[in-house]
Structure 1
Amino acid sequence: MDILRPALINISGRIYREIPVKEEHYEDEEEEDFSYSGPVADQCIDEPCDAVNIEQTEKGFRCAIDVPSVLYKYIIGKKGETRKRLESETKTSISIPKQGVEGQIVITGPQKSAVASAVTRVEVLIESFRRKQPFTHFLSFALNHPQVQEGFQRFKEEVLEHCSQGLGVDESIFQNPAKLHLTIGTLALLNEQEVMRACELLQQCQGFIREITEGKPLALEVRGIEYMNDDPSMVDVLYAKVITQDTSDRLQQVADRLVESFLAAGLMVKEWDRVKLHVTVMNTLFRKDPSVEDKGGPGRQNMKDREAFDARNILEMFREYFFGACELDSVQLSQRFSSDHSGYYCSAGHVTFS
């Protein structure tokens, strides 16, 4: 079915059909220990060459592509096999900077169509492997306001007092109160240029954000808990629900529009039809790594690393628990595995509602 319904990849506004790539893995992989076999994209012979910025030179044609250095190895391949195959099939030459040096991959060739074909193959290959990179940043609403933190601390103390007899319920699986947040979407930003691009896009989103919020902070409540699997006796993550005090859907609108904007720019991968408005309060992944964020998609830890807990008593006693109220006035581009002076994630950029 993957062949009949291939995934679509958006590259600079152009849509390509992705053909499954056979990956080969080797022991003791080093920076060039990656290879592929077969085509990496459904090539269109009649695709106009002006779809990419190709320059004419004295010796033929040339195109430079911005690529984060962490992805060079996927274009090089094991012992240079991938690059050699691409060069042979497209009759071009592909120049790649040294590993760790940020720069451009330069493709040259005697024919403009050949360079265009090589550029397309390289871009699709890059995009395929980009999706496998762990996410580095995420758009978030910070919900670590004092009242919510205090409510969370009371919740934690009462759960440990009344429900610790439940399988797997202990202090290690609770969220850090300073990092209570609502995740809007995750991003794999692989160099400073990509971080700057995401910050610029976030600034551009301020217009529709202020239109939706009418230029005012949103009054929110964090109330009630829920889980998302079928068996309350075997739960991996427990969430607190977030609602606007005026019962409007303005928070949902802001979150969904942000995701739409970052998806259109190719900075985010679609995971859900709508953003789930919830805050992680307990997560079994915290047992092994208190800094891990509860988020699926790229970079998610293997499910076998989880040790589920019995949430039946917690759900019975605290299903409508009130964590607190707060006013939300900003959205952050948060850096994963970081902390600022307040204990929240370091911010690469933010915009305010008012």
Structure 2
Amino acid sequence: MDVLKPEIVRVHGRPYRFFESNIWSNQPSAPYQEEYQTEMDDMTSEACEDDSIDIEQIYGGKFRHTLDIPPAFNGLIVGHKGDTKKKLERETKTNIRVPWKNSTDLITITGDTRADVISCRQRIDLLVESSRKKMRPTHFVSIPLKNDEFIQNYMKFKDRVLADSDFKDARVVEDFFVNPNKLHLTVGMLLLLDEKEMKEAADVLNECVERIIKPILKAHKDPLMIKIQGLDYMNDDPTTVSVIYGAVLPNEKLQEIANKVFGFFLEKQLMRVERTENVKLHMTLINTSKLIAMDQRNRGQKIYFNAAKMLSAFQDYYFGEMELKSFDICERNSCEADGSYKIITRVGLI
């Protein structure tokens, strides 16, 4: 009975109840865009007087608002055969102009009254914010671990796993291993859909470094070292594993910094909420999802292997140690010429 507990979506600090319009329908499931159509009868008159929305009065006494959102949402607003756009226009008494694909133009809303235009804008905001929750992250904040010691010891680990007969039963193949130039610690995931959002994330990281990280490092005085030793995994059964990590040895200051970076991005509404209080710092070594097509990953498809012998044999394996020197924002599923991730921004700490 989800209808009795509708999803709460926050737009510009205001909470709205979000209902699916076809919840009582007996019709087959609608195409992708239509699943976000909504009934938003709880929009208040107070909300329709939002002064933060810039509206200009144009010819004929009409009002117009230009909506700057990532082009990735244009199809969502149009909907299947234009149904979502028509519904929004009908219910808010406005006209919505959505630019063609690959156009640099912005969406414009035109209406007879300011209230109509504001109502349409806020309904679009609800659609966009609800859609964001269902999209996979595009980028991530990380601590790069690309140095000679980590790479050399990682390659020795990889060669031994592939060559040693003790691990044949695990059925691990070379394509499961990450590129050595992609070694990093993940701090948190981001959804950045255009250049504007990427710049915003870069600015947030710079602000976080200056306001939070550098003061912690200055108080710490000694260089903050990252040490990776042993293997780790994130499920309950070592015989059914899809990802193997290099274990980060406990470091109170490093954990504090990771938690505060995550919290800072979360406060800026850029980071996704995780299940645990502490960021799980990890250096991915083996990841079977590299061999799974993106559409199958979205459906939860995974490849598993038996890691029990590997976890035992390498429980104390030394990967390396290095000083914390920078934070990156990288693009997921990207690959530069040397096999590394595409870096959107790097902020040095020293």
Offset of residue 164 of structure 1: 2.4
Offset of residue 344 of structure 1: 2.3
Secondary structure of the corresponding residue to residue 143 of structure 2? strand
Matched, 1:129 2:131: yes
Within-5 A mapping of 1:209-228:
209-214=213-218, 217-228=223-234
Secondary structure of the corresponding residue to residue 19 of structure 1? strand
Question: Residue 279 of structure 1 aligns with which residue?
Answer: 283
Question: Residue 251 of structure 1 aligns with which residue?
Answer: 254
Within-5 A mapping of 1:85-234:
85-160=87-162, 161-207=164-210, 208-214=212-218, 217-234=223-240
Offset of residue 153 of structure 1: 1.4
Structure-2 separation of matches of 1:85 and 1:288: 38
Within-5 A mapping of 1:4-15:
4-15=4-15
Offset of residue 105 of structure 1: 1.9
Offset of residue 34 of structure 1: 4.2
* 5+ residue gaps, structure 1: 293-297
**How big is each residue's C-alpha offset from its partner over 1:298-337, in whole Å with a ceiling of 9 and x where there is no partner?**
9954332x22111111122112221111112100011223
**How big is each residue's C-alpha offset from its partner over 1:163-193, in whole Å with a ceiling of 9 and x where there is no partner?**
3222322322222111111122222222212
Matched, 1:348 2:350: no
Offset of residue 346 of structure 1: 2.1
Question: Residue 326 of structure 2 aligns with which residue?
Answer: 330
Q: Alpha carbons of 1:3 and 1:253: their partners in 2 closer, same or farther (altered >3 Å)?
A: farther
**What RMSD over aligned residues (CA atoms) do the two structures have, in Å?**
2.8
**How big is each residue's C-alpha offset from its partner over 1:202-253, in whole Å with a ceiling of 9 and x where there is no partner?**
1111221111222875211001212221211111111111136xx32x2222
Structure-2 separation of matches of 1:299 and 1:115: 40
Structure-2 separation of matches of 1:95 and 1:110: 15
Structure with the largest fraction of helix: 2
Secondary structure of the corresponding residue to residue 53 of structure 2? coil
Q: Alpha carbons of 1:40 and 1:155: their partners in 2 closer, same or farther (altered >3 Å)?
A: farther
* 5+ residue gaps, structure 2: 23-27
Within-5 A mapping of 1:29-44:
34=34, 36-39=36-39, 42-44=42-44
**How big is each residue's C-alpha offset from its partner over 1:45-84, in whole Å with a ceiling of 9 and x where there is no partner?**
4325125314251524332221111210110112211111
Higher mean displacement: 313-322 or 213-222:
213-222
Aligned residue among 235, 244, 255 for 1:238: 244
Secondary structure of the corresponding residue to residue 39 of structure 2? coil
Higher mean displacement: 65-74 or 216-225:
216-225
Question: Residue 295 of structure 1 aligns with which residue?
Answer: none
| Number of positions where the alignment pairs a residue of Structure 1 with one of Structure 2 | 338
Aligned residue among 300, 303, 318 for 1:303: 300
**How big is each residue's C-alpha offset from its partner over 1:282-307, in whole Å with a ceiling of 9 and x where there is no partner?**
12223347xx8xxxxx9954332x22
Q: Alpha carbons of 1:41 and 1:211: their partners in 2 closer, same or farther (altered >3 Å)?
A: farther
